[in-house]
Structure 1
Amino acid sequence: MPDFQAAYFTIFLICLISSILILKLYTSSGVKSHLPPTPFRLPIIGHLHLLGRIPHQAFHKISNRHGPVFRLFLDSTPYVIVTTPETAKEIFKTHENAFLDRPQYLVTDYLSYGNKGLIFAPYGSYWRFLKKIMMSELLNG
Structure 2
Amino acid sequence: MKFVFPLLSYKKHGGVRVLSFLINGLVEKGHDVFIVVPEDAYEEFYKLDEKVKKIFTPHTGRNPLGILKTLFYLYIKSPSADFTVVSFFPTFFPALLHKIFKGSKLIYYVQDVEQFFYPFPFSILALLTYLLPSDITLC
* Pairwise TM-score range, normalised by the shorter structure: under 0.3
TM-score (norm 2): 0.25
The structure with the largest alpha-carbon Rg is 1
TM-score (norm 1): 0.25
Indicate the structure whose relative CO is greater, using CA pairs within 8 Å and at least 6 residues apart. 2
